[in-house]
Structure 1
Amino acid sequence: MTRDDDLVTEQLELAADRFDFLNALDGARLDKRDLTEALPYSRSTVDRAIRDLTAAGFVLDDGDYTTSLKGGQFISLFRSTRTAAADVLELDSFVAGAAADYPLPVEAVVGADELRTDPRVSHPFDALGNRLKATNNGTFVLPYLPSQTFVDRCTTWLVDGHSCRFVAPDSVVTAIWRAYPAFLETVQTVSDCELRVGEVPPFAIAQTTLDGTPHTMVVAYDDDARASCVIENTSKRAVAWARSRVQSIWEAASPFDLNGNADGDAPETEADDADARRMTRMPRQTTRTPKRRRPIPPQLTTAVQVQRFAARRSPRRCGHRGSSDSLRRTSTASASRRRWRAGAPDSTSARSAPVTPSTASARPKTDART
């Protein structure tokens, strides 16, 4: 039966505002003077709080004050809520920046054994790879290409006869085939090991049983595909959620056949190719063919060398790129400068010298009658 929403809100607000008093009275019997000494409040504040809590049914007054069953249950709820909120705040740098529709439920976070955020996150699956020998089976959901260290340790683990399941999108499988072909071959040849291709959430899930205890690891990534949040949880709620989520992903995925895809080293489309390279985070490799020069016949070696020497000494190589007329004008100017330095008259300058009044009067006059 559902009570009135206003009443529920009022009771929650009162319990939240007076949580210190309920927490001090839970399992204890105190009078007002004891409460005043135990809590940093004045006597008037203590009187008002006890009056409100007693009227709401959270506290019993039989000479001393103690919590009722209702007050004890509210205290338990608030304590668990505060603990869950503290777990969420451990991931504040990640959850505060993620959208509300990010598919990571609170069940995966609450009660976690270890919570890490960037910059304390570095190759989280490598640490899990060190503990694979403590389990006989595991299921891994991989939204991005795993590291070389994890793949090597997982390959050794599979060769030792352990069972495992992998789920990854098609682009990641293509990236694994390019980066770690031996790993895919091991997955195909080892019994009780299977790889499926399908849609996966934006975070990785590792479900294992370490030393007999069910273990769940969740690795969330940022927009650059870098691990930014790691959650390791062994609580019953987290393990139950991981099993249900992984099973639904596994049933919706399709089996991967290495024989049917072995000849497709490259994706079928350019979009798949770009997506696969984004998953691998490797630069595109380009190969340039060096330009081949035509060999010079032995009988032409000397002539070619002469031509190259003449080309290096030509005026055009020295910055003169004009026509042959420009080159002749440059040679004439050089000759004129040499004659001027030697004191010889410059015919070019004489022809181009202007006529002044003094030079005109110095010329001999010619009789018009003669």
Structure 2
Amino acid sequence: MDTEILSVVLQRWEVVDSLREEPKDKRALVGDVDCSRSTVDRAVRELESIGVVEYREGDHGVTPLGETVASGLEALVETVERRIELEPFLEWIPEGEFDLGLEHLSGAELWVPEPGDPWAMVNRHVAALEAADDVRCVLPLTGLHAYEAVYEGVVAGGRAELIVSPDVARTFRTDPAYADMTAELATTGRYRLSRYDGSIPYFVGLLDDIVQIGVDEAGEPRALLETTDPEARRWAEGEIEAYERDGTRVDLSVDLPADPSTDSPRTGS
């Protein structure tokens, strides 16, 4: 796209935007954009000279080229704004590891540490778990409050499928704070635990209709995204299924010896 066209359209955006709504004569245009007649005259001449605006049947209107340029600029601005808005989340994801289009996160809510509430994202994650009947998650780290919410939900009749790192799987089975809950969950028939031996760069969760995506830095939660976008849900389902396919189902009927000398793995709540 010609840089001169882009520059002029950006400089004269108010006029272009007004004429996109409907063609107008200059008097109506002056009233709509709240500019002087001389400014509008100059803007229209510049836009006509680059083929973005044309005069027809007594009014000025946007040409097909003008509409294409304006639509493209709007999309670009939206993408940049979305990227800036999501940067507190995206900055913690390794390059090339996240392939969900940002357009599917336009309505997402973002939780990050706040002064006086450094665990805002963890608290939101736990609250969503407490309200969910059907939980499917890929977890690079764990937290006791979150696991308690999963436990209470399954015992009450819900279902949970967790795909976790080897360290988290061992914690669930051998750490005294988790082991009794895991043993009881295993008897319900509504709890499934799988181990994934590769890297899990971020948390992905489906909690009923909610998609959650969480990021951390060396075990410290940094941000949580939440959305109900249908395309984001399809993406999350694909992510979870891929981890499940490449993971190993944990046989909870086989006891592991407790290892009290081993600290719990990266914990998030």
Q: Shared fold (TM-score greater than 0.5)?
A: yes
CA 99–251 in structure 1, closer or farther in 2 if over 3 Å, else same: closer
Q: What's the CA shift for 1:263?
A: 2.8
Superposed, which structure 2 residues align to 1:117-132 within 5 Å? Answer: 117-119=112-114, 121-123=120-122, 124-132=124-132
1:256 and 2:256 matched: no
1:138 and 1:206 in contact (8 A); partners too: yes
Q: Paired residue for 1:152?
A: 148
| Higher RCO, 1 vs 2 (CA within 8 Å, ≥6 residues apart) | 2
Structure-2 residue corresponding to 1:294: none
Please say if 1:279 is aligned against 2:260: no
- Matched letter for residue 126 of structure 1: V
Structure 1 unaligned blocks of 5 or more: 1-6, 282-370
Partner of 1:185: 183
Pairwise mapping of residues 273-352 of structure 1 onto structure 2 (< 5 A)?
A: 273=262, 277-280=264-267
1:263-288 deviation line (CA, Å, top 9, x unaligned): 33239xx9xx4xx544248xxxxxxx
Residue 239 of structure 1 aligns with an amino acid whose one-letter code is R
Residues 94-128 of structure 1 show CA distances to partners (whole Å, capped at 9, x for unaligned) of: 44x54761623453662234122221524232111
- Letter of the structure 1 residue corresponding to residue 200 of structure 2: P
Q: Kindly indicate whether the alpha-carbon contact (under 8 Å) linking 2:52 and 2:65 is maintained by their aligned counterparts in 1.
A: yes
Residues 189, 278 of structure 1: CA spacing in aligned structure 2 closer, same or farther, 3 A cutoff?
A: closer
Partners of 2:99 and 2:20 lie apart in 1 by 32
- 1:144 partner letter: L
Q: C-alpha displacement at 1:165, in angstroms?
A: 1.3
Aligned-partner Cα distance in 2 for 1:99–1:249: 17
1:276-303 per-residue CA deviation (whole Å, 9 max, x = no partner) reads 544248xxxxxxxxxxxxxxxxxxxxxx
> Do the aligned partners of 2:158 and 2:190 also contact (CA within 8 Å) in 1?
yes
- Residue in structure 1 matched with residue 212 of structure 2 by the alignment: 217
**Which segment is superposed worse, 98-107 or 246-255?**
98-107
- SS at 2:111's partner residue? strand
Matched residue, 2:202: 203
Q: TM-score, normalised by structure 1?
A: 0.60
Judged with a 3 Å threshold, the aligned counterparts in structure 2 of structure 1 residues 146 and 280 are, in CA distance, closer, same or farther, namely: closer
Aligned to 1:169: 165
Q: Distance in 2 between matches of 1:106 and 1:47?
A: 45
| Aligned counterpart, 1:318 | none
In 2, Cα distance between equivalents of 1:244 and 1:11: 41
Aligned residues: CA RMSD:
3.2
Residues 141, 265 of structure 2: 8 Å contact kept: no
Instruction: Give me the whole-angstrom Cα distance separating, in 2, the residues matched to 1:237 and 1:176.
Output: 32
TM-score (norm. length: structure 2): 0.79
Structure 1 residues 49 and 230, CA, compared in 2 at 3 Å: closer, same or farther?
same
Q: Secondary structure at the match of 2:98?
A: coil
Measure, in 1, the Cα distance between the counterparts of 2:45 and 2:156.
69
Q: Take 1:249 and 1:13, find their aligned partners in 2: how far apart are those partners?
A: 47
What SS does the corresponding residue of 1:66 show, helix, strand or coil? strand
Aligned to 1:139: 136
Does residue 51 in structure 1 map to residue 45 in structure 2? yes
Bigger fraction of residues in strand: 2
**Structure 2 partner of 1:236:** 230
Gap change, CA 1:100 and 1:277, over 3 Å in 2: closer
Identity %: 20
- The gaps in structure 2 that reach 5 residues or longer are none
Measure the CA separation in 1 of the matches of 2:100 and 2:76.
Answer: 12
